[in-house]
């Protein structure tokens, strides 16, 4: 079984279209989206519909819930708030209702899928450190939890003794008795100093289970032009060149 997991498109249609090319090459059995289809980028509706069409399971992120009026903009920084107000004005009522209907966490028999963290998923906590990961492992029972939200690719694991650490490898074989929190990074707005989009492939068979993070190029300048033409804040365009 081959799963493709991606997150945080944020209205970046060019990045999403580049991901679709990768999906055609990968030919996964199932596709999971971990949330934040909208926010920041200039094509929220188009991204929302594309994701709904290709993904077997779709989660909501904090920007999706904010667009639907379910999350306050109080804790959004000024750039994010301005972009969200613009996004709310662009989305149709039925698109907002769709976003409001999405779950923020899904527990499958052997996988946990969540946008932010399994601990209080609607409070939008970040998992950035080994300590953050250690605090979250008790809140899901499956061997693997896939997350997004921080826009940073990260692999956290804990062993049978409860030791928790971060792996720097982008490809790992899963070990029996170990548990994993995998941040699949961002398709549309990476923040790990690599401007390329990111996605994750999880393959499992009777012999082994493997996690692999992949990066891909997309037309950043076209996305930047759209953001500027839409009247969105210039730094939202500029940061895409640097992956910050």
Assign residue 117 the CATH number of its domain.
3.60.21.10
Q: pLDDT (tens digit, 9 = 90+) per residue, 58-92?
A: 999 999 999 999 999 998 999 999 999 999 999 99
Does the pLDDT at position 182 exceed 80? yes
Secondary structure string (H, E, C) spanning the chain: CEEEEECCCCCCHHHHHHHHHHHHHHCCCEEEECCCCCCCCCCHHHHHHHHHHHCCEECCCHHHHHHCCCCCCCCCCHHHHHHHHHHHHHCCHHHHHHHHHCCCEEECCCEEEECCCCCCHHHCCCCCCHHHHHHHHHHCCCCEEEECCCCCEEEEEECCCCCEEEECCCEEECCCCCEEEEEECCCCCCCCCCCCEEEEEEEECCCCEEEEEEEECCCHHHHHHHHHHCCCCHHHHHHHHCCC
pLDDT above 80 for 206: no
- pLDDT score, position 75: 87
Model confidence at 93, in pLDDT bands (50, 70, 90)? Answer: very high
Say what the pLDDT of residue 207 is: 82
pLDDT at 205: 85
Q: Please, which pLDDT band fits residue 12 given cuts at 50, 70 and 90?
A: very high
Least confident range of 88-92, 146-150, 204-208, 211-215: 204-208
What's the whole-number mean pLDDT along residues 158-177?
Answer: 92
Q: Phi and psi of 105, rounded to 5°?
A: -150, 140
Count: domains in the chain: 1
Residues 202 and 211 sit within 8 Å (Cβ to Cβ)? yes
pLDDT in tens, 101-110: 999 999 998 9
Please give the residue range of the domain that contains residue 102.
Answer: 2-241
Contact 106, 113 (CB under 8 A): yes
Q: Residue 122 corresponds to which tokens in the numbers above?
A: 């609607």
Averaged pLDDT for residues 196-201: 98
Tell me which residue of 50, 182, 54 sits closest to 112, measured CA to CA.
182
In this prediction, residue 2 carries a pLDDT of 96
> What gap in Å lies between CA 67 and CA 86, rounded to an integer?
9
């Amino acid at each position: 079984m081959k799963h493709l997991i991606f997150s945080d498109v944020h209205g970046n249609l060019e990045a999403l279209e580049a991901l679709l090319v990768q999906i055609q090459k990968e030919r996964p059995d199932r596709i999971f989206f971990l949330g934040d289809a909208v926010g920041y980028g200039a094509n929220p509706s188009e991204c929302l519909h594309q994701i709904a069409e290709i993904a077997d399971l779709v989660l909501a992120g904090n920007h999706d819930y904010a667009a639907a009026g379910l999350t306050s903009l109080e804790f959004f920084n000024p750039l994010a708030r301005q972009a969200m107000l613009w996004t709310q004005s662009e989305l149709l009522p039925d698109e907002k209702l769709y976003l409001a209907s999405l779950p923020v966490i899904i527990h499958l028999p052997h996988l946990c899928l969540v946008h932010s963290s399994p601990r209080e998923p609607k409070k939008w906590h970040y998992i950035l450190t080994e300590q953050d990961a250690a605090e979250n492992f008790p809140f899901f029972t499956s061997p693997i939890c896939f997350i997004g939200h921080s826009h940073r690719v990260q692999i956290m694991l804990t062993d049978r003794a409860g030791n928790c650490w971060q792996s720097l490898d982008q490809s790992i074989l899963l070990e029996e008795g170990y548990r994993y929190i995998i941040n699949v990074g961002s398709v549309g707005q990476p923040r790990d100093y690599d401007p390329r989009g990111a996605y994750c492939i999880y393959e499992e068979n009777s012999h082994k289970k493997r996690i692999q993070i992949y990066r891909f190029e997309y037309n950043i300048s076209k996305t930047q032009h759209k953001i500027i033409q839409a009247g969105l804040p210039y730094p939202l365009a500029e940061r895409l060149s640097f992956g910050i």
